[in-house]
């Protein structure tokens, strides 16, 4: 690190680089062979519930999560998925999505995600660019993957998907795989873990390569610099976005209970905060602003909230000041993911 840092900003005149003023985080040695899934599960905690579906109330325990990740990874190996194969995920926020992510990267395969709202043409374009060999899709989205001529794993088998030739397996079938058949894969931290696509705000959307070490570094920073109190958190940012991906895997490593909403609705979000007595909220800037403007906020008991994490874009100082005026003791953090930064 440069020695000529401007104390107020961390800017180095000599290198033209901004350095963090925080103490450096402690990362695993770069030469150590380590995958993201193993690292996430290496953190010990005594939390029982990992995920809750806000709409149905369905829950997934940490014990079941660990089993399902290993069983699904075994099932993917049985289907012929190998290290460096790309797997497409087209799913809304569900409690199974983080399990799918961790299973894919645990066998050295690479995740690419697509917005469920993308058209068939947009999916075909991403498939042509990222070259996946398989797709996970909800039944109502499976036609988008099949239009790109991909074999599909359905998250559930429901009508009108009745033809067995239209999919290779269901998620529940793969969860029944014998975990004793799992074959360990040698994965280095510099191996690619994800190929997530930008939104295309300033041009065509682009796939961004991130390594296991990239994600390990982000998870480590989250754990080492966050409040040690266990979170009961609501995540309404989409899990196909890098912010949602990061937040979900970090929550697992920290031992949080994460409540997921498949479809965002502002009043329902407030009701869920009240119902589950959440202390942490992960949101995007438009929702942050809505918390300062909407009269609905006063109709719900949000007193359990202690922390708000906002990512996806920068917040204006005015919006932050307005929220602090409403919630004086609120801890507000802004999250930025540098996906292509090698640590």
The domain ranges of the chain are 36-335
pLDDT at position 338 is 43
- pLDDT tens digits for range 41-84: 999 888 999 999 998 999 999 999 999 999 999 999 999 999 99
Per-position DSSP letters for 153-195, written without gaps between them: EESS--TT---GGG-SEEHHHHHTS-GGG-------TTSEEEE
pTM of the predicted model as reported, rounded to 2 decimal places: 0.89
Residue 85 CA to residue 92 CA, distance in Å, equals: 22
Burial of 189 (0-12, 13-18, 19+ CB in 10 A): buried
Q: What is the pLDDT of residue 163?
A: 57
86 or 313, greater pLDDT: 86
Please give the pLDDT value at position 159: 53
Q: What's the pLDDT band for 282 if we cut at 50, 70, 90?
A: confident
8-state DSSP, 5? B
Structure tokens at 51: 């995920």
Average pLDDT, the chain: 89
Res 339 pLDDT > 50 = no
CATH number among 3.40.50.12780, 3.90.1150.10, 1.10.3720.10, 2.40.10.10, domain 36-335: 3.40.50.12780
Q: What is the pLDDT of residues 5-48, one digit of tens each?
A: 888 888 888 888 887 777 788 899 999 999 999 999 999 888 99
CA dihedral 267, 270, 275, 278 (to 10 degrees): 160
pLDDT bracket for residue 160 (50, 70, 90): low
Calpha distance 271→219 (Å, rounded): 29
Q: What digits encode the pLDDT tens for the residues 175-203?
A: 999 999 999 999 999 999 999 997 666 66
């Amino acid at each position: 690190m440069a020695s000529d840092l401007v104390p107020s900003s961390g800017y180095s005149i000599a290198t033209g680089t901004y350095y963090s003023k925080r103490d450096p985080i402690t990362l695993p040695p770069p030469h150590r062979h380590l995958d993201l899934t193993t690292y996430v599960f290496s953190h010990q905690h005594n939390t029982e519930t990992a995920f809750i579906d806000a709409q149905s109330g369905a829950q997934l325990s940490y014990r079941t999560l660990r089993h399902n990740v290993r069983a699904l990874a075994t099932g993917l190996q049985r289907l012929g998925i190998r290290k460096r194969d790309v797997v497409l995920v087209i799913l809304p926020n569900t409690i199974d999505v983080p399990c799918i992510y961790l299973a894919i990267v645990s066998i050295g395969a690479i995740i690419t995600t697509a917005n469920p709202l993308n058209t068939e043409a947009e999916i075909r374009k991403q498939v042509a660019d990222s070259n996946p060999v398989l797709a996970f899709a909800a039944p109502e989205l499976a036609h988008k993957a099949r239009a790109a001529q991909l074999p599909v794993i359905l998250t559930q088998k429901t009508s009108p998907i009745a033809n067995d030739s239209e999919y290779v397996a269901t998620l529940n079938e793969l969860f029944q795989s014998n975990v004793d058949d799992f074959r360990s894969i040698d994965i280095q931290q510099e191996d690619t873990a994800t190929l997530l696509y930008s939104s295309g705000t300033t041009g065509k959307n682009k796939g961004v390569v991130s390594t296991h070490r990239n994600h390990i570094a982000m998870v480590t920073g989250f754990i080492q610099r966050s409040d040690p109190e266990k979170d009961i958190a609501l995540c309404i940012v989409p899990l196909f976005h890098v912010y949602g991906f990061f937040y979900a895997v970090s929550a697992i490593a920290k031992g949080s209970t994460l409540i997921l909403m498949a479809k965002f609705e502002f009043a329902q979000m407030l009701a869920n905060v009240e119902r589950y007595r959440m202390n942490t909220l992960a949101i995007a800037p438009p929702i942050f602003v809505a918390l300062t403007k909407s009269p609905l906020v006063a109709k719900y008991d949000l007193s359990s909230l202690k922390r708000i994490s906002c990512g996806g874009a920068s917040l204006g100082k005015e919006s932050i000041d307005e929220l602090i005026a409403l919630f004086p003791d609120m801890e507000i953090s802004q999250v930025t993911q540098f996906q292509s930064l090698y640590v």
